[in-house]
Structure 1
Amino acid sequence: MPREAHKSRPMTVGELSRRTGVKVKALRGYTDSGLIYTLGRSQAGYRLYDTDALWCVRFIGELRGLGLTVAEIRELTAAWADGRVRPVGSHLAELLHRSRERLRERIAAQQQILDRIEKFESEHQQHLADGDLCWAGDPRGCDARA
């Protein structure tokens, strides 16, 4: 089908969801946030989108895959739409830096959990191997099992 003919045929949110793999609820949220524009609504009240919405959803997915939040994506697109003095590229660079720092913090927190697991296993290696691990203060009474 020629691109012009395909572009003129509006899609419902369900079709946009099928074509992008993004859940309808997320698409509605993106639309309500102003990240995806609609052509309006059908006579039956369905949101209608053109093929530009496909690009928008893919772009949002790419940025989400880089760790940006929906609020940050909204901030970036607002900066672009407003034509602010600050270039969008530098704004994106700052958002990517924020995302990287959040990710590093999450990795550090997960590493702390791994360290605690290793310490626990090391301290209780024999009890874990024997299947007999009692917790201090266990109301079931470890002493009664000994």
Structure 2
Amino acid sequence: MSGSRTRPMTVGELSRRTGVPVKTLREYTDLGLIYTLGRSPANYRLYTADALWCVRFIGELRGLGLTVAEIRELTTAYLDGPSGPVGSHLAELLHRSRERLRQRIAAQQQILDRIEKFQVEHRADLAEGDLCWAGDPQRT
């Protein structure tokens, strides 16, 4: 193993290596999603290479639509252990994420439908550029 892998990283180095902002990494640390080795003599948070994996896994879960609160819930379930398998808990969180996404898609589809209806109802006005608004000062 190379020295760079065993040498602790500061939050800035972890940020550079993962592309995640320092502020976000501090939030993840404060929430217990990433653990530190402690602090340097200069009071910088220090991380091991394990933090790289944690940050990437958090990013993967966020990319699947999980909230930070849900990831924290999953972490707590993992640390508590006996409350049940983490895999089934993750499956439930993914189900919740999928449902939220379906609701957002349905809401966006309703907007698309309203746009289509508006365009059909005002096709002539839109084509002629003759759509006026109530109180339009140019229309007398």
Give the alignment's TM-score, normalised by structure 2: 0.93
Q: 1:140 matched to which residue of 2?
A: 136
- What residue number does 1:125 align with? 123
Q: Is 1:33 equivalent to 2:12 in the alignment?
A: no
State the match for 1:77 in structure 2.
Answer: 75
Q: Following the alignment from structure 1 to structure 2, what is the Cα–Cα distance between the partners of residues 111 and 73?
A: 29
Structure 2 unmatched runs, 5+: none
SS at match of 2:46: strand
Distance 1:72 1:132 in 2: 51
Q: C-alpha deviations, 1:47-66, integer Å up to 9, x for none?
A: 11110000000110111111
How far, CA to CA, are the matches of 1:143 and 1:123 in structure 2? 21
Distance 2:124 2:11 in 1: 57
Shift of the alpha carbon at 1:7? 3.1
Match status 1:95 vs 2:88: no
Q: CA deviation at 1:40?
A: 1.2
The reply to whether residue 21 of structure 1 matches residue 23 of structure 2 is no
| Secondary structure of the structure 2 residue equivalent to 1:73 | helix
Report the AA paired with residue 70 of structure 1. Answer: V
Q: What displacement does 1:97 show?
A: 0.4
- List aligned pairs for 1:44-63, cutoff 5 A: 44-63=42-61
**Deviation beyond 4 Å, 4+ runs, structure 1:** none
The count of corresponding residues between Structure 1 and Structure 2 is 140
Amino acid at match of 2:130: D
Query: 1:24 corresponds to which letter in structure 2?
Result: V
Cα RMSD (Å): 1.4
Deviation of the 1:127 alpha carbon: 1.3
Q: TM-score scaled to structure 1, two decimals?
A: 0.90
Structure 1: segments with no counterpart, 5+ residues:
none
TM-superposed deviation, 1:8:
2.5
